[in-house]
Chain A
């Protein structure tokens, strides 16, 4: 039986979050020490984008996108200090946080990994690819 958890959200009102949508952060997001759990909110009319709503801070919600949607071949290398924290599981998801403050941008340097099997999440600093924290939000160009 699924236990719905009601989460207050400034953006969505009262969210009924099933266990499958709740991800415990293995380490707080930088700047948000009070957030321990993210609720993954996927709305059909906004696909492929999703929201990561803080379970503890109603006003904190991040728009996010699958990393490989923005940059073809995007890959994550775990920094050595995260090897003990994270092991990639089948079905893991790599999301990047979007900002619309100024020109829309994506933080490809610090993606958020979601593991649906353990229902945990971790923001990592990705040394692979030399990506920046504020990359233009654009669709990958089709190969010539």
Chain B
């Protein structure tokens, strides 16, 4: 892992198109400004990890046919 120190107002360039600027540091938090092409996804690391973990939980914890069949009665729209 590359480790760099930056102060408020200083920035990092990633390739030609991405720039990350330190805007503020306070109370153990760092506020970053990110300039990047709209086509590039910028996600909080914990959110990306949570989606990955939940996808894996969904595959591993898929219900049995009987469980899903039983639940379907609860969710089926009432006849109108």
Q: Using a CB–CB distance below 8 Å, which chain A residues touch chain B?
A: 11, 29-32, 43, 45-49, 59-63, 65, 69, 79-84, 97-102, 104, 107, 109-110, 123, 125, 133-134, 137, 139
- State in angstroms the CA–CA spacing of A73 and B55 once bound together: 24
B61 touches A101 (CB 8 A): yes
| Smallest Cβ-Cβ distance to A61: which chain B residue | B62
CB distance from A56 to the nearest CB of B (A): 13
A43 neighbours in B (Cβ, 8 Å):
65
CB distance from A3 to the nearest CB of B (A): 27
A62 touches B51 (CB 8 A): no
A61 touches B51 (CB 8 A): no
Per the CB 8 Å criterion, the residue count for chain B at the interface is 32
- State in angstroms the CA–CA spacing of A43 and B72 once bound together: 11
Majority-rule SS of A interface residues: loop
Cβ-defined partner of B54 (8 Å) among A32, A80, A97: A97
Within 8 A of A (CB), among B22-80: 38-43, 47-48, 50-63, 65, 67-69, 71-72, 74-77
- Which interface residue of B38, B41, B55 has the most chain A CB atoms within 10 A? B55
B56 neighbours in A (Cβ, 8 Å):
31
A81 touches B38 (CB 8 A): yes
Cβ-defined partner of A63 (8 Å) among B43, B47, B51, B63: B63
A99 touches B61 (CB 8 A): yes
